[in-house]
Structure 1
Amino acid sequence: MFMPSFPDNFENNSSGGFNIDLKLEGIESFRKSLEKYFFSEATVRNWASSTMGINLAVELECNLSLVEMLFHFNRGTWGNFSQGSSSFVSVLDKFRRENPVSIDIEELSILFKDTRIIINKIYERSVAEQLDNILSEMGKHYVHISKGLSETPYEIYVPVFEEDQSEENILLRTIEASHTKKDYFNYWGLYFESEDDAIIYDLRASHLENGDLLMLNTE
C-alpha cells in the first residue's frame, strides 16, 4: 500500500486553503524570479505558519506540454538550474535571508498543458535542491511513465511512500522521519485518464503497477 507524503492534498486537491496574503520581505522579487526562470505565471501561497517558520506552496503555470518542457530542460533553457547567484536554490536562499523567520517550500505544483507535477518537501530545502534531479529522472523515465509514449499522466505526485505493513498499526513514516534525497526516486504516483485509480511508478524497476492508496488523516 502506498501514500503520498501529504495525503490530504492527493488527487486534485493541492491548491485548497492557502492564504495568498503573505507579508514577507522580497516575496515579489522571489515570485518574479520564478516566473523568469520557469517561463511561468507564479503564485506563492502560505501552506502553514508557526513559530518555527513559514512553509510555502508555490504554483507555476507553464504554457508548455510535459515533453516540451523536458526538451528545453535537457537543453538547459528551462529552469535556470545552473550553479550561481540566480539558481533556484540561490533565489530561495536569498528570499530566506531577507526575512527573520525560517522559510521553505512545502509543495511545488507545476501546471503544464497536459499534466500537473506535484512535488512535496521531505527534508529542509529538499524541493529546491532536488527539482533538477527529479526532472532529469522524469526525462529518463518518460517512455515508461507515458505508457510507451501512448498516454501522458494528467497528474504526477513526487514522492509516494510504501508503508511498513509489519507494524500492528499500519502508519506511514511521517515527513518528520529521516528522509533523504533517494526517497524522491523510489515511487511516484500517477493518474491517467484511462485508469480509474492511481498507478504507482517504481523508478528502480522502471515499472508501472496498480497500488492501493491509503488516505490517512494525520490530524
Structure 2
Amino acid sequence: MPFNFENFINNSKLEYTKEIVGIDTFLSSLGFHYFSNVQLNNKHITFNSISLVLEVSCNLDLLELLSHFNTGRWGNSGTEESPLQHALEILNTKNKYNIDIEELTFFLNDTSIVIKRIYDKSIPTQLNDILKQIAFNYVFLTRGLTQKPYEIFVPIFEDSFENMEANEDQINTAPKTYSEFWGIYLDKDDEASIYDVLKNTYVSGDLEFLSE
C-alpha cells in the first residue's frame, strides 16, 4: 500500500489532540482533598504519554497549610499516598497511555510553591515528603522567622546556577531527590537564593531560572 501523507497527518493530529478520559473527575478530586481550585494549565503530549501542568489555588497562608497538613486536615486521602498520587493512579486506569505530572504549582495567599518532575511519577509519589521537608525547614528558610518566602522552587538543577561553593563533579547534574537544592525568593531580597536542604542553610551562588 502506498504511503498516504494526508492520512499520516490526520492520524498525527488525532494523537496530539487526544482527550484525557476522566480529567474533570481527577481535577475535582484534587480540589476536594486540597481545599483548592485546581486547573489544568497545560499538557504536553507524545504518542504514548501525556504530561500535565497543574495549578492549585488555595486560600491559605503557608503556615496554615503546613499546620493543616501535619494534622491530617488538608491533603490527606486516609492512606500513606497523597491524594494526588491516588487520583493519578485512577486516571491512568481510565486511559491507554501514561499520564504524569510535569509541574505542580500551589498558589497560596502569601507564597507560591513550584514543584518540577525529576523522574517518572516523582511529584505524586513525593509530594507528601516535599511538604514535610518545607515544614521541617521553615525556620531555616525564613532565616529564623525574620523573612517570608514568597516563591519556593523545588528543586533547582545545579546547571541553573553558577559560582556555587561545591566540587566540580557535583555541577551540571540533575537532582536525584527533592532534598538537594531549592530556589527561594524572600520578601526582603531582590533575587532568588539557593537553599541547601540537607544542610538547612543558604549557600552562595547566582541562580538563573531557565525558561522552557
Superposition TM-score, scaled by structure 2 size = 0.81
1:160 partner SS: coil
Matches within 5 A, 1:1-219: 23-83=19-79, 87-163=83-159, 166=168, 172-173=172-173, 180=176, 183-216=177-210
CA distance in 1, matches of 2:157, 2:81: 34
* Contact map agreement 2:82 2:125 (CA 8 A) in 1: no
The structure-2 alpha-carbon separation of the partners of 1:216 and 1:111, relative to structure 1 and needing over 3 Å to count, comes to closer
Which one-letter code corresponds to 1:137 in the other structure? Q
The structural deviation recorded for 1:85 is: 9.1
The structure-2 alpha-carbon separation of the partners of 1:51 and 1:199, relative to structure 1 and needing over 3 Å to count, comes to same
The structural deviation recorded for 1:209 is: 2.7
Structure 1 or 2: more helix by fraction:
2
* Contact map agreement 2:82 2:128 (CA 8 A) in 1: no
Higher-Rg member (1/2): 2
* Contact map agreement 1:62 1:112 (CA 8 A) in 2: yes
Contiguous gaps of at least 5 residues in structure 2: 1-16, 160-165
* Contact map agreement 1:22 1:46 (CA 8 A) in 2: no
CA distance in 2, matches of 1:101, 1:117: 28
The structure-2 alpha-carbon separation of the partners of 1:141 and 1:65, relative to structure 1 and needing over 3 Å to count, comes to same
* Contact map agreement 2:81 2:125 (CA 8 A) in 1: no
Which one-letter code corresponds to 1:35 in the other structure? G
Name whichever of 63-72 and 89-98 sits farther off: 89-98
CA distance in 1, matches of 2:125, 2:66: 18
> Of the two structures, which has the highest relative contact order with CA contacts closer than 8 Å and spacing of 6 or more?
1
Question: What value does the CA root-mean-square deviation take over the aligned residues?
Answer: 2.5
> Which runs of at least 4 in structure 1 moved beyond 6 Å after TM superposition?
none
Q: Kindly tell me the number of residue pairs found equivalent between the two proteins.
A: 190
The structural deviation recorded for 1:87 is: 3.3
Identical aligned residues as a percent: 36
The structural deviation recorded for 1:165 is: 7.5
CA-to-aligned-CA distance 1:4-31 (integer Å, 9 cap, x gap): xxxxxxxxxxxxxxxxx97211000000
The structural deviation recorded for 1:216 is: 4.9
2:39 partner SS: strand
Contiguous gaps of at least 5 residues in structure 1: 1-20
